[in-house]
Chain A
Amino acid sequence: MTLLLQGLALGVLTGGLYALLASGLSLYFGVMRVVMVAHPAFLFLAAYLTYTLHTASGLDPLLALPVTVPLFFALGVAVQRLLVARLAPENLPMMSVLLTFGLALVIEGLLGTVYTGSYKSVSMDYATRSLTLGAVRLPYDRIVAFAVAALTLAALFTILLKSRFGRALRATIQHREAARLVGIRTERVTGYGFGVGLATAAVGGSVLALITPFFPAAHWAWIGKLMAIIVVGGLGSVLGAALAAVMLGVIESLVLVTVDATWATMMFYVFLFLTLIARPQGFFGGRLAQRF
């Protein structure tokens, strides 16, 4: 029972990080129909930048965010304007897979050249301590990571739901041509949407650096999980992605403590296939058929 509770608690904490990352991925697809395979590669790029700032100045990973978030926002706008916008619109989802796959390889190559292929990590003194709640022990670094992910998600939803930019972005997602006809400059909004997506990767990268060691090729293990999450949540639905992420994070963690690591990872794909068979539009909104 203790093991299950421990698994459940850690699952929620990990699910929070998944939710943040999957929300970014969902945003790209919602706004542009772009399958952003390079999202986790940018995540690890942010982790390495955080590592560099930490080793150079002892900076806490969270204090790297004022540097990495604006940088990645600008990088996202540039990637959209200079690369993605040039893809043929009729084949955008497929071509975007090829383009962003290439981007992921370039980032991995650069990271390998600069940092070598060995593991790096950022170690803060609070990472070794944990909070004990009854029989459950929660590492402080995981709690901090979850809190940052949750706050970022809350900020993202507030922007999407309450701001003028958020309304323009949602309108662009839901009907691009109608959005143009109410005066929204959809190309600009799309660029900013991409920037926001990559900014979530910057936050995720700093958080990731805090909780786990990493190496340049580690991003490949993430893309399959994140893709499974956004399909289960409903492609293009940011809220759906967040909910599915927490759900799958908990399931992964429970299977990890009760069965083994292989089956834990497998659960993402089990739910992916179940979703495609039973409810291809996803469980929390989105319309897979229409959006492809």
Chain B
Amino acid sequence: MLDGILQGLSTAFLPVNLMLLFVGCFAGTFIGMLPGLGPVSAIALMIPITYGFDPSSGLILMAGVYYGAVFGGSTSAILINAPGVSGAVATAFDGYPMAQRGEAGKALALAAYSSFAGGTIGAVFLLLFVPILAKLSLSFQSADYFALMVFGLSAITAFSGKGQVIKAVLMALLGLMLATVGEDPSGIQRFTFGITDLYDGISFLLLSMATFAIAEALMVVLRPSPPSKVASAGKPTFQTLGSMKLSKEEIKDVAPVVARSSVLGFFVGVLPGAGATIASFLAYGMERNLASAKQKLGFGKGSLRGLAAPETANNAASTGSFVPLLTLGIPGSATTAIMLGALLSYGVQPGPRLYIDHPAVFWSVIISMYLGNIILLILNLPLIPYISKLLAVPRQFLTPIILFLSLIGVYLVSFNTVDLFMMVVIGAIAVVFRVLNFPLAPLLLGFILGGMMEENLRRALLISDGSLEFLWQRPITATIIIITVATVLIPIVSSLRKTKGSRALDT
């Protein structure tokens, strides 16, 4: 194994490969920054270029593009509320409010540091524990995935401020309902009304771009002055970059969040049935639940913790998703599926024997991930002041640009004009929700978890012959369910006790 690592080191440090890594990170960052264009389209663009390469170089380039795009995806989420990658949706929850508050620089810098930390910690885990991790990625069954998705749903509480609980639950339910559109696992069409474009269901990217980017742009048109309440101080804070520096207290505050989120993100990424988006939502929910009552109020309004958690987790998860790809030959996401296709065209079959048969390929990719994260940090930090100049563009120009880029981004994924109409309609409906003060994040959460929750629930029920025993038969399922119940009940119980206590004091 050590021999293989050395081989990988020398391969990764070949000048050609270092250059490809740099090119990949650079291209990936820029593609990821464009709203709607994520790692899938970025890697698909690279495939024809990598034809003549040897497998290590090709994979290094594509891996660079991959985490470059994940890295860059946060930029458009923070600056214009248009997450370019589904994994960056949760980044927009707190990143965009920060930018609105005039702290765009700090938000971008924090996102870059968190991404770096998540990616690096993930790469270290990968290097140290690869053989064990292969087993881990097979330890989850449908029942466990179902429990994990239910746990993810408990994060709705994170989006419900005072008096908003019912609104948040309603929006999550709407998300769950939207997830049922399309062909169900037993081959039956639901809510498609004979429209072929609905057979595959609604795409998550479309929904998130419509509810975030389009709705935001339309809101700006409706309310010509910046809607931010924080801006009421009289200065046009939105246009300013603000300081990029994090204070010592802030770093102290965020460090444990980053540590927890990278571990959580990585392990969720290792599971072939989860992925970066789920990881970012879970990390966001977890941090919200762990935060003190006072910090909780900051979530969704520009909390540093709320930004660091999903950003760390989605990068760690992207790294983790290489475990099932490299050690089992099983792609856990659309992105890794494309990479598997590319590997096969080189004549390299990933699987348990990959690091025996092709040690140079295996280890050089892992080592280049570590290097890639350093390159990304060095590349991104100096760019922040220039990129955030985007905010200085007058709104009357910026808004059409955002609309244009969002629509193009979704179109480039599906090449389907009907998607454009759907985006506009959903965007208009989302504006109505925003005017009525319904939160949109639970909608997306319900939507992304709903599809997977249903699929896994149905499988678990089929396997257990329709009985609900599967909920407690496996230790993993039972543990996750217990944690979920606890996270939902503890705040309620403690608030009940508090009211009781205050009543006792009153009397």
Is the pairing of A and B real?
no
